[in-house]
Structure 1
Amino acid sequence: MIYLGLPQWSHPRWVRLGITGLAEYARHFNCVEGNTTLYALPKADIVQRWRAQTHDEFRFCFKFPATISHTASLRQCDDLTHEFFTRMDPLADRIGQYWLQLPATFGPRDMPALWAFLDSLPTQFSYGVEVRHPEFFAKGENEQAFNRGLLQRKVNRVILDSRPVHSAVAHNQAIIDAQRKKPKVPVHALVTASHPMVRFIGSDNMVQNRQLFAVWLAKLAVWEQTTTPYLFLHTPDIAEAPVLVDTLWTDLQHALPSLGNAPSIPQQSSLF
């Protein structure tokens, strides 16, 4: 099967679609990116609420806190890591994967810290790593060593496809901000473990999004035969993410019949 979701589970403009929070979101999508944990740990009662608002087939993909991935650079952070897993424990059976989003300053010389950190993690979960340093995309010895280390540990290489947003005409502030914040890195579509994660950063040009997404239809169809992929769809103004789902759905359903029926939300085009 394949998991399909958005980078968050609520937005003020989604209220008109009947999505007022996590409970409604989980009736339409089967996974979500957990960006909130990058910035702060949720309170214990909130984690319990998230469990109550979802079902056993739903999956969260939470990011490791920035205090671990950015501030500590994966070093001497055992206490922080223990606190993170302890806090998220009520959702343990609904974790799709935990993933590290590493800064562009985290380069090849930091790989020993990455391997030590990954080797220290609980073995019952799947993990992913998203890198941004240019050497990890240069197809040289450093990238080969990085990919080899992930393969040996059965850790997913998180794949960021920011081509659409960086190909867009910067005609509004949302696109300008997205082009400034989203890394412009090559797309290396490599499977290193059983749950490859693709983060497709669309623009507000839905025709272009569909054209640039076409390559993923074949990739995901092949990957689905031996793995369980995760696909997250972004837009510069996240309010438009459901529009991107609508745009891609027919193509996705044709290539990946296991997706089943489209999310049962109103047509988006008339709402934005």
Structure 2
Amino acid sequence: MEVHVGCAMWTHPAWPGRELPSRERLRSYASHCNAVEGNTTFYATPAASTVASWVEQTPPEFRFLLKLPKLVTHERRLADVAGPVRAFLDTIEPLGERVHALWVQLPASFGPTDLDVLAAFLRRLPRERRKAVEVRHPAFFEDERWSARLAEALDAVGAEQVLFDTTVLFGAPPTSAAEEEAWQKKPRLPRRSHALTTHPVVRYIGRDDDARTAEGWQHWLDTVVRWLREGRSPTIFVHTPDNAGALALARRFHEEVRARVPEVAPLPEPLPTDPLTLF
């Protein structure tokens, strides 16, 4: 049985390894968690040397959920994108199986009338790569007809829906500046917890209070345990508005899963971080 857990980034001022050179921080992170969201690829296709560094710093079992560039998903809205998609796929090829899935995050304006465009785009992606689609248009959450149509389109190509849960974040008024900012930026949508494939993906956003975040993930703890017993291999990304505690929280979530499903393999032991010295 396999569970991957991770965060929205691999470096943060509050995390171990922050004092390391930038090209070593992923190695430190990968000793704490076994997956990471590839949000940086949304802004541009990485350089080949950057991808080579990612390969060098991570073990083969580590997983990246790589977001397709915004040129593809937001600017061109999946139309006339063969060139940039091919460039992206060629660049990430050295990661091999470390690529958990190609993450197609769509803008909130991408709605039911665009489903045919999405379906055609997904059919053109390589069959050997998993696909994970994140939608934010309210109709896909509030209208069961469109929710079902989306599931049909994804299921036809073996794609998963990224389950983005902000219900705990919006469950009570913000109590910090980071929470106030998250309230302004994050989508407020109903929670969905259905899995379409054997590799479901969850992005869970809690609060800056670690205890409230852990209390709020009980639904996902139960769901992950059920998925495991169904033979699925889920990936869970833990966010908080300031993300200061996210690294430790991701490990804690994994530990709580293992307490209920001992067959799940443990996470690696974190690498020691040597203190800075004058000599």
Task: Compute the TM-score of the two structures, normalised by the length of structure 1.
Answer: 0.91
Alignment of 1:137-148 (within 5 A): 137-148=141-152
Q: Contact 2:33–2:250 (CA<8 Å) still a contact in 1?
A: no
Could you tell me how far apart the structure 2 residues matched to 1:247 and 1:56 are?
Answer: 23
Counterpart-to-counterpart distance in 2, 1:114 and 1:249: 33
Structure with more of its chain in helix, by fraction: 1
Aligned to 1:269: none
User: Greater relative contact order (Cα 8 A, min sep 6): structure 1 or 2?
Assistant: 2
Match of 1:7 in 2: 8
Distance 1:45 1:262, change over 3 A: closer
Match of 2:233 among 220, 228, 235: 228
1:150 Cα shift? 1.1
Map residues 256-267 of structure 1 onto 2, 5 A cutoff: 256-261=261-266, 264-265=269-270
Name the CA shift for 1:29/1:202 in 2 (closer, same or farther; >3 Å).
same
Q: Separation in 2 of the partners of 1:81 and 1:141?
A: 31
SS of 2:16 mapped into structure 1: helix
Give the C-alpha shift of residue 14 in structure 1.
1.3
2:154 equivalent among 137, 145, 150: 150
105, 113, 118: which one aligns with 1:114: 118
Whole-angstrom distance in 2 between the partners of 1:28 and 1:162: 24
Q: Which moved more, 1:35-44 or 1:12-21?
A: 12-21
AA matched with 1:3: H
Alignment of 1:159-238 (within 5 A): 159-224=163-228, 225-238=230-243
Q: Residue type matched to 2:136 in 1?
A: R
Deviates more, 1:67-76 or 1:23-32: 23-32
Gaps of 5+ in 2: 272-279
Q: Taking every aligned residue pair, what percent have the same amino acid on both sides?
A: 34
- CA distance in structure 1 between the partners assigned to 2:253 and 2:166 by the alignment: 16
Matches of 2:18 and 2:71, distance apart in 1: 35
The amino acid of 2:113's aligned partner reads: R
Q: Would the aligned equivalents of 2:16 and 2:28 in 1 still touch at CA under 8 Å?
A: no
Q: Structure 1 regions of 5+ residues with no counterpart? A: 267-272
1:6 touches 1:241 (CA, 8 Å); kept in 2? yes
The separation in 2 between residues aligned to 1:142 and 1:154, in whole angstroms, is 18
RMSD over equivalenced CA pairs, Å:
2.0
**Whole-angstrom CA distance in 2 between matches of 1:17 and 1:34:** 18
Distance in 2 separating the partners of 1:207 and 1:27: 24
**Structure 1 position 13, deviation (Å):** 2.1
Q: Are the equivalent residues in 2 in contact too, given 1:34–1:61 (CA < 8 A)?
A: yes
Q: Is 1:34 aligned to residue 38 of structure 2?
A: yes
With the length of structure 2 as denominator, give the TM-score of the two structures: 0.89
Distance in 2 of aligned mates of 1:67 and 1:154: 24
The range that moved more, 31-40 or 219-228, is: 219-228
Q: Select 2:67's aligned residue among 48, 63, 69.
A: 63
Q: Give matches, 1:76-91, under 5 Å.
A: 76-91=80-95
